[in-house]
Amino acid sequence: MLPLPFRQLHPRTVLASRGHQDVPISSVTFDSRQVSPGSLFVALPGATVDGATFIDDAIRRGAAAIVTEIPIDGLPVPAIQVPDARRALSEIACTFYGHPSSRMTVIGITGTKGKTTTTYLIQSILRRAHGQAFRLGTVEYDLGFTRLPARNTTPESLELVSLLAQALKKGVTAGVMEVSSHALKTWRVEDLTFAAAGFTNLSLEHSEFHPTMEDYYQAKRRLFLELLPRGRPAVIGIDDEWGRRLAEDCRQAGIRFRTLSLTNPQADFVAADLAPNAVSQRFTLVAQGQRIPIDLPLVGSFNVANAMMAAALCQGLGIPWAAITEGLATVGTVPGRFETIPNARGLTVIVDYAHSPAALQNVLAAARPLTKGRLITVFGCGGNRSREKRPVMGRLSATLSDITVVTSDNPRKEKPEDIIAEIMAGITPLAPTERGEVQVEPDRRKAIALAIGLARPGDLVLIAGKGHETGQTFADRTIPFDDREVAREYLEGPTHA
């Protein structure tokens, strides 16, 4: 890319400036280790470390200019002071890369559950309509021509805009991305141009970041009330109170939207004639007087809702129903989302990312009809995350499973036994007649082995919480760990744990 004058990259709000503001900028970074001569270094505040402490290091490495929230007196290179460095970074990134989203069809999906699967479904439809499509989210960043590991559900604004620019350069002009509440609250998507947006649902999650559900909701609603251009397609799932509230907020703000529901026949998109089987399901999508048959190679009513969201958004963008139905029918496996692990033991083994009460309840409800024998659930809860959900999830698993094996998830900086004790607090008050058998095995590998060892032909083993993840995070390290690979290891081994 050709260098741009620093002045041209200025965000809208600048509190102070010093030095030659037309110095050429050849790259932008917020990591001082990536600074090279000609770089603009944006010092971001962090939860544990303030980027401003690395300004001197950035200058030593050749930074041409600095953007920071702290006073800039005495800095030996051109600099500006801004009220919010993350907000400024979003503007700078879009300007530096030429606002790629304004020349693309970018669909944003937000909500607690269903974002990832919905993005896979939309990408499949967009491929039918456009030939290529990008997808950014929790599992990976698929640019349509290459795949990159995902560090966050929604990348920092600089990385996000860079990814879009790379896709556009390769001729990929349409795609979909998960929009997390973290991203909405920290300005990562602030200056993107969205072509459409969907809200799946909202339930208890991320309380370590959002002090209240109200704060969580306010972050999500920004996508519709502040960021989505007026007149662009908006689709809202109204099967929970937060979706219904968002619909009302949009209505009062004069924002056009459409609704979907699995239970409310008054919604704009509803499902009828559901016919599930062990590996797929058929249903009729009733949409504005039309009845469209849908074949979906995914199970669970929650995936019907995800498919409806994908269909509604793509139809709102003018994509023909033929491309929509073909895209839904041909979507591939979504990694770690109700993913079946084939085996020769006569067991059904499913790995799912469910790590919230609502998600766990959904997958257990979807698993029960597929279970000929006993339903055996392995799960834990992540450390340094939403402690209040732990007893709730314990109670759900114990009451909806025949056997529960409580184990570790990603303990992070907490002791696994402390997390397990909080999970068990939701189980121990239950009478034996109110719950299934419960065992505790803090070692997740051993817990998976235990569950598979207990299973008999016809049983279903659900391994919940980590899904597609390929590591387990402790206080001082992350070790390689993939629930799917561990399950395969024990399924192919001896018939007892």
Rounded-to-integer distance, Cα 447 and Cα 472, Å? 14
Find, among 220, 260, 253, 257, the residue nearest to 238 by Cα: 260
The binding site for ATP comprises 111-117
Angle between helices 115-130 and 301-316 (to 10 degrees): 40
Rounded-to-integer distance, Cα 50 and Cα 30, Å? 11
The residues with which 260 forms a beta bridge, in sequence order, are 237, 269
Q: What angle do CA 148, 150, 155 make, to 5 degrees?
A: 110
Find, among 208, 224, 232, 178, the residue nearest to 386 by Cα: 208
Name every residue whose Cβ is closer than 8 Å to that of residue 361 and which is 6 or more positions away in sequence. 396, 400
Angstrom distances, CA of residue 75 to CA of 58, 80, 412, 449: 12, 10, 38, 59
Angle between helices 357-367 and 389-400 (to 10 degrees): 10
* 258-261 and 269-276 beta bridge pairing: parallel
Name every residue whose Cβ is closer than 8 Å to that of residue 58 and which is 6 or more positions away in sequence. 32, 35, 39, 41, 43, 66
Token pair, residue 323, equals: 């491309």
Rounded-to-integer distance, Cα 123 and Cα 126, Å? 5
The residues with which 109 forms a beta bridge, in sequence order, are 178, 198
Task: Give phi and psi for 28, each to the nearest 5.
Answer: -130, 135
Q: What angle do CA 367, 368, 373 make, to 5 degrees?
A: 110
* 105-110 and 79-81 beta bridge pairing: unpaired
CB atoms within 10 A of CB 451: 27
Residue 275 near residue 284 (C-beta atoms within 8 A): no
Instruction: Count the alpha carbons within 13 Å of 213 in the hemisphere toward its beta carbon.
Output: 11
The binding site for meso-2,6-diaminopimelate comprises 385, 409-412, 465, 469
Residues in the chain: 497
In 189-245, which ranges are E strands?
Answer: 196-199, 234-237
Our measurement of the distance from residue 293's CA atom to the centroid of its chain's CA atoms, rounded to an integer in Å, reads 28
DSSP letter at 30? S
The binding site comprises 32, 111-117, 152-154, 180, 188, 385, 409-412, 465, 469
